[in-house]
Amino acid sequence: MPASVLITCGNVVGRLWLHFSAVYIITGITCYLLYHEYKYISCKRLEYFMTSKPLPQHFTVLVRAIPVSDGVAVSDAVDKFFREYHSSTYLSHTVVHQTGKLRRLLNDAENICTKLTNLKYVHRSSQDAPRKFLGLFGRNDVLGKYQKRLEDVEENVRLEQSDATRRQEIPAAFVSFRSRYGAANAIYIRQSDNPTEWQTEHAPDPHDVYWPFFSTSFMERWIAKFVVFVASVLLILVFLLVVAFVQGLTYLEQVEKWLPFLRKILEIAVVSQLVTGYLPSVILHVLSSYVPSIMKLFSTMQGFISVSGIERSACNKMLRFTIWTVFFANVLTGSVLVQVEIFLNPKEIPSKLAVLVPAQASFFIAYVVTSWTSITSELTQTAALFCHLWGKCAKCCRRDTSEAPSMPYHSEIPRILLFGLLGFTYFIVAPLILPFVLVYFCLGYFIFRNQLFNVYAPKYDTGGKFWPIVHNTTIFSLVVLHIIAIGVFGLKKLPLASSLLLPLPVLTLLFNEFCRNRFVPIFEAYSTESLIKKDREEQSKPEMLEFFSNLVTAYRDPALKPIRRASNSDERTAPLLASSPI
Amino acid sequence: MPASVLITCGNVVGRLWLHFSAVYIITGITCYLLYHEYKYISCKRLEYFMTSKPLPQHFTVLVRAIPVSDGVAVSDAVDKFFREYHSSTYLSHTVVHQTGKLRRLLNDAENICTKLTNLKYVHRSSQDAPRKFLGLFGRNDVLGKYQKRLEDVEENVRLEQSDATRRQEIPAAFVSFRSRYGAANAIYIRQSDNPTEWQTEHAPDPHDVYWPFFSTSFMERWIAKFVVFVASVLLILVFLLVVAFVQGLTYLEQVEKWLPFLRKILEIAVVSQLVTGYLPSVILHVLSSYVPSIMKLFSTMQGFISVSGIERSACNKMLRFTIWTVFFANVLTGSVLVQVEIFLNPKEIPSKLAVLVPAQASFFIAYVVTSWTSITSELTQTAALFCHLWGKCAKCCRRDTSEAPSMPYHSEIPRILLFGLLGFTYFIVAPLILPFVLVYFCLGYFIFRNQLFNVYAPKYDTGGKFWPIVHNTTIFSLVVLHIIAIGVFGLKKLPLASSLLLPLPVLTLLFNEFCRNRFVPIFEAYSTESLIKKDREEQSKPEMLEFFSNLVTAYRDPALKPIRRASNSDERTAPLLASSPI
């Protein structure tokens, strides 16, 4: 063997060992950063709790699966139970009602109201001279007709609200206590001898409660959980099939074979370019824009009762969805069955990934670069702008009463974490992707920072409860990196490096387990220490009396609050329908 | 094809469909029985709690990982913490001390004491005429020598006990409360902001505490858990290697190849028969008789602090050990690597098991039949008798002061559950085994019933906490049955039956999940309902005052209790050394 080949060989091996140590170093640094970030965020969370003013959700517990014997009202059952077992701390309770019909009526009223306001606005802006709007209808009595309908609906709403017997009680209630520690007692110690009855959990912020869907019985929720799991797996499978079909569209011959009657049209150059070039990505984008809402619907069905809980659960589902349909579906090109096959053969995974992942490097670099556009479009809010314009045209100059939007965490977090996964998995096989990912993260940092401060209005505050999702995904990405590295060293005939890497995923998972023990409890519950300190601090404050009197009605279904017509003084700015303050 | 062949074919297929429905029926019946048994046992458990007299363990909490700053005693830290956060229910605490040296001294004292008693007994039974015992030593001054040594050791014990500064405090304490609900509060609500500090758990019965090994810090226990997991996997692997080696002994040529210098001896017929026939099974029996104690040692290292906890954890470990080394090692004959290989290829498992399991049917029938002997030897307690006789000969007629033994649950339960596994797995491929298993269970029922009532003295009472182990193992056996059945129908070219069986393991696991939700919480904690009812019941009873005053000292390390010499009135029956009553 000539000397130069030997030297090259030595160089290659040397470079591989450099890669080997790089994997250890990057894992070490990541774990160090993850630990400190977890620590920092949990400290922030504790600080947030200790400095917060009294919040209803800290004093309240949601009780579900309340066992009711015939002839006893849910309300009486709850009162009796908590007066007996929590006599010293029990304050009040609010039973949840089925308010589906009422909610529909209120929606109707609001719609009519908006139309009425818009009409009045148009009417007035045309200087009291009625004109035919869009040349179709503009007669003066339209106003009177809407007014009449609004009064009818409002009458119905009042009837429905006042007639308690017509509403069905749901065996669930918000129970409030005199102290945070009292509420914690009711949550963490099982209430009933039968674990499927009197199930308690943290109550969400009153504004965060998702009222329309309130499934309650233990069995119902348990079955729903299983059904949703199956449904979300099916959704991934169906989506993978759709992706395979759509990718077929990029080949003109394929399209002509599927749809022979279109052959004539497809022969026009512009049409064929549109079909093969734009149509697939448009279909995919449209379809994938519906996925977050479907995932949110699934989470709703699972029995989460707060918007934040639903979005957190939807975030987890979206994460799995994104990782499968974007990362694995592109890496393991081929049918669903082929993809599943690989995971049924765990011994082969590292070597297969080591071959398949680098092959897609250029695709993912392009993916990252095109994502720069999507993240900058976040800044311009193009989609929202188009929606707004469309709404304006279609709904006859309706006044824009929409509130500031809230950040869609469940669709944004998985997208950002996907780039973390890409960065880690390509760290060893195609480091060229790293600067592009870095640019994405830098752009993302500045853009989202701006959006969070200036554009989005927070709808709820979880106190950092989304962080564990980020932590877990990063650990997952690290383990995928290790598996790929093991495969790469195996392929490059460096079995020693391959075996020396084996402890790394184990150590990473142990580190994760340690973090789970050390930090996760902080995100699940506050400690006796904090709760009692906070309770004592406020014990003697005079404003607590007012807080408690507000707490009694804090968890009333907004649909049951009396509707109130705004004063006639300034109809142009005041909404016609408004809930009375608590 | 002749008609007769067609009819036979039809018959075979018909019989296979009979087997198919049998799998569904047996699963249904088993799940029904499991559900009702779980329900029955959890009811019994609640009943046991509600009818029990006040027990120290219900009012006490074990606190570990107590953070101590320099110069502050653990005792002061505990007192300060619980007075601050549990002022209304806190009663007292007992800090745990390192008493290893003291324990050794006490052991010495007890040994000398026993020797002394025996000598006195011999002395007296030989009618005041000293004789040389066993012709070696029997001089009168031996008595005096022992008396002197006993006094020295007792003096040392007293010194060690009185000098508190010489003992090191362990950052762990038993904290007692005035009510069961107060104790539950301290257990189920995290105490400290840092989840790795002030960790609380149920205190065991004072007689059930395992004092010698009291590991405390969070990290220590966490690492120990991982190390023990690795060690118990290694133990299984090592044992499998040993079994392979020992099975090699059954082939004379193999032995001659391994140990060529023994060829001469092995040519003698008796020796060769002994070596090939008895030696392997003797070695295996001796080795496996040590495994339960090793597993117990592992569980001790994991940081369990009650004998019952240690035995429950050891029971789980023994179960895994038994299933691997007896069931899988015999079914998947071949090296460890070959066995692991099968499980790395999950798609092939059903068909492989469907081939391999029936092949070992006759071996397991023989295994069940030979186990009849082992279970009847339980009745005669042959091993204990031999031990006793050996002890009598070796330890110069020592007086038999041993207490009634306790049931070794951790070695007996896994053995019995193994037969359940055999019954289920062979239910479809070799139903001939069923009557033998049935005879085993019938024998076992009567023998263990007798032993539990008349022979063994219970050492602790867990309130049915061993049942979940039995439930889970039965579910595991059912799933193995399903996998084998799927494999069998696949082999017999009935893919429809095979696919129709696929929902069965899923349904079984769902059933298990339901049971876990429905019953396991009952075995982990008592509910607010029960705790408060029980507390109220006893609130006004006068005997509670005495109970509380006893509770203060209930968790004192027995090594720290003053030693007390029994009165000289009847030395033949009273033990010389006795702990003072609480």
Cβ distance A527 to B196 less than 8 Å, yes or no, reads no
Residue of B nearest to A39 (CA): B194
Least confident window among A147-151, A276-280, A412-416, B501-505: A276-280
Q: Tell me phi and psi for residue B123, to 5 degrees.
A: -50, -50
CA distance A304 to A208: 11
CA distance B265 to A548: 93
What 3 state SS string does B512-524 have?
Answer: HHHHHHHCHHHHH
Min CA distance, B330 vs chain A (Å)? 24
The two structure tokens encoding residue B295: 């597993």
CA distance A392 to A389: 5
| pLDDT confidence of residue B582 | 37
Count of helix runs (H) and strand runs (E) in chain B = 25, 6
CA distance B95 to B175: 8
Cβ distance A344 to B344 less than 8 Å, yes or no, reads no
Q: Domain limits of chain A?
A: 60-216+547-579
Q: How confident is the model at residue A5 (pLDDT cuts 50, 70, 90)?
A: low
With contacts defined as CB-CB under 8 Å, which chain B residues touch A87? none
Cβ distance B528 to A195 less than 8 Å, yes or no, reads no
Cβ distance A190 to B46 less than 8 Å, yes or no, reads no
What angle, rounded to 10 degrees, do the helices at A382-394 and A361-380 form?
A: 50
Mutation target among A66, A180, A190, A539 for the B interface, most CBs of B within 10 A? A190
Strand, coil or helix: B526: coil
Cβ distance A222 to B345 less than 8 Å, yes or no, reads no
Cβ distance A195 to B530 less than 8 Å, yes or no, reads no
Up-side HSE of residue A26: CA atoms within 13 Å toward CB?
23
Min CA distance, A523 vs chain B (Å)? 11
CA distance A31 to A512: 9
Q: How confident is the model at residue A278 (pLDDT cuts 50, 70, 90)?
A: confident
CA distance B531 to B539: 12
With contacts defined as CB-CB under 8 Å, which chain A residues touch B85? 528-529, 532
Mutation target among B89, B180, B187, B190 for the A interface, most CBs of A within 10 A? B190
First to last CA, chain B: 87
Pairing verdict, β A169-177 and A60-64: antiparallel
Residues counted in chain A: 582
With contacts defined as CB-CB under 8 Å, which chain A residues touch B525? 189-190
With contacts defined as CB-CB under 8 Å, which chain B residues touch A521? 190, 195
CA distance B336 to B485: 25
Sign of CA dihedral A212, A214, A220, A221: positive
With contacts defined as CB-CB under 8 Å, which chain A residues touch B192? 527-529
How far apart, in Å, are the Cα atoms of B225 and each of A516, B197, B229?
15, 18, 6
CA distance A3 to B43: 81
- The strand pairing partners of B60, in sequence order, are B176
With contacts defined as CB-CB under 8 Å, which chain B residues touch A196? 517-518
| pLDDT confidence of residue B127 | 52
| pLDDT confidence of residue B176 | 93
Residue A258: partners with Cβ closer than 8 Å, 6 or more residues away = A248
Kindly provide the b/e burial profile for residues B261-282, where b requires at least 16 CB atoms within 10 angstroms of the residue's own CB. eeeeebeeeeebeebbeebbee
Cβ distance A517 to B347 less than 8 Å, yes or no, reads no
Residues counted in chain B: 582
Quick: pLDDT tens for A93-144.
988 888 777 888 888 888 888 777 777 776 666 555 445 445 455 455 777 7
Mutation target among B43, B48, B349, B527 for the A interface, most CBs of A within 10 A? B527
| pLDDT confidence of residue A250 | 67
Nearest to B190 among A181, A518, A528 (CB): A528
CA distance A139 to B13: 80
Q: Tell me phi and psi for residue A496, to 5 degrees.
A: -65, -50
| pLDDT confidence of residue B392 | 64
Q: How confident is the model at residue A581 (pLDDT cuts 50, 70, 90)?
A: very low
With contacts defined as CB-CB under 8 Å, which chain A residues touch B344? 345-347
Residue of B nearest to A347 (CA): B344
Min CA distance, A489 vs chain B (Å)? 21
Mutation target among A177, A180, A527, A532 for the B interface, most CBs of B within 10 A? A527
How far apart, in Å, are the Cα atoms of A153 and each of A98, A160, A212, A564?
19, 10, 20, 13
Q: What is the DSSP string of B344-380?
A: T-GGGHHHHHHHHHHHTHHHHHHHHHHHHHHHHHHHH
**Nearest alpha carbon to residue A472 among A530, A504, A409, A519:** A519
Indicate the average pLDDT of chain A.
Answer: 81
For residues A464 and A393, the answer to whether their CB atoms sit within 8 Å is no
With contacts defined as CB-CB under 8 Å, which chain A residues touch B347? 344-345
DSSP state of A323: I
Kindly compute the dihedral angle of the four CA atoms of residues A389, A390, A391, A392, in this order, to the nearest 10 degrees. 50
Report which of residues A10 and B581 the model is more confident about.
Answer: A10
**Residue found under tokens 């975030």:** A315
For residues B442 and B372, the answer to whether their CB atoms sit within 8 Å is no
Cβ distance B517 to A218 less than 8 Å, yes or no, reads yes
- The strand pairing partners of B579, in sequence order, are B563
**Residue found under tokens 């870095």:** A438
Strand, coil or helix: A91: strand
| pLDDT confidence of residue A421 | 93
Residue of A nearest to B510 (CA): A226
The two structure tokens encoding residue B567: 């009165």
Whether the complex's predicted ipTM surpasses the cut of 0.90: no
For residues A396 and A403, the answer to whether their CB atoms sit within 8 Å is no
Nearest to A222 among B186, B514, B531 (CB): B514
**Residue found under tokens 């804090």:** A554
With contacts defined as CB-CB under 8 Å, which chain A residues touch B532? 84-85
Q: Tell me phi and psi for residue A492, to 5 degrees.
A: -85, 15
Residue of B nearest to A535 (CA): B85
Q: What are the pLDDT tens digits along chain B (582 aa)?
A: 455 555 565 677 777 788 888 999 999 999 999 999 999 999 999 999 999 889 999 999 999 888 888 888 888 999 999 999 998 899 999 988 887 778 888 888 888 887 777 777 766 665 554 444 454 454 557 777 878 888 888 888 777 777 765 667 888 899 999 999 999 999 999 999 999 889 899 999 998 888 876 666 778 888 888 899 999 989 988 888 887 777 777 666 767 777 777 777 777 777 777 777 677 777 777 888 888 999 988 988 888 888 999 999 999 999 999 998 888 887 876 666 676 777 777 778 888 888 888 888 888 888 888 888 777 777 777 777 777 777 666 554 444 556 777 888 888 899 899 999 999 999 888 888 999 999 999 999 999 998 888 888 888 888 889 999 999 999 999 999 999 999 988 888 888 888 888 999 999 999 999 999 999 999 988 999 999 999 888 888 888 888 999 898 888 888 777 766 544 444 444 444 444 443
How far apart, in Å, are the Cα atoms of A537 and each of A60, A89, A179?
19, 17, 11
Q: Give CA A208 to chain center in angstroms.
A: 13
Mutation target among A189, A223, A351 for the B interface, most CBs of B within 10 A? A189
pLDDT at A567 over 70: no
Pairing verdict, β A199-202 and A563-565: unpaired
Nearest to A195 among B186, B518, B531 (CB): B518
With contacts defined as CB-CB under 8 Å, which chain B residues touch A344? 345-347
Mutation target among B529, B531, B532 for the A interface, most CBs of A within 10 A? B529
Report which of residues B470 and A358 the model is more confident about.
Answer: B470
Residue B326: partners with Cβ closer than 8 Å, 6 or more residues away = B367, B418
Quick: pLDDT tens for A451-462.
888 888 888 888
Residues of A with CB under 8 A from a CB of B: 46, 84-86, 181, 184-186, 188-196, 218, 222, 226, 344-347, 510, 514, 517-522, 525-532
**Nearest alpha carbon to residue A448 among A396, A377, A390:** A377
For residues A473 and A421, the answer to whether their CB atoms sit within 8 Å is yes
Nearest to A522 among B191, B195, B525 (CB): B195
Q: What is the DSSP string of B254-292?
A: HHHHH-GGGHHHHTSHHHHHIIIIIHHHHHHHHHHHHHH
Pairing verdict, β B60-64 and A577-579: unpaired
The two structure tokens encoding residue A524: 């699940």
DSSP state of A327: I
| pLDDT confidence of residue A346 | 78
- Counted across chains A and B, CB pairs separated by less than 8 A come out at 102
Q: Tell me phi and psi for residue B156, to 5 degrees.
A: -60, -45
Cβ distance A344 to B346 less than 8 Å, yes or no, reads yes
What angle, rounded to 10 degrees, do the helices at B409-429 and B307-322 form?
A: 30
Q: How many CB atoms lie within 10 A of CB A347?
A: 10
Q: How confident is the model at residue A506 (pLDDT cuts 50, 70, 90)?
A: very high
Min CA distance, B292 vs chain A (Å)? 28
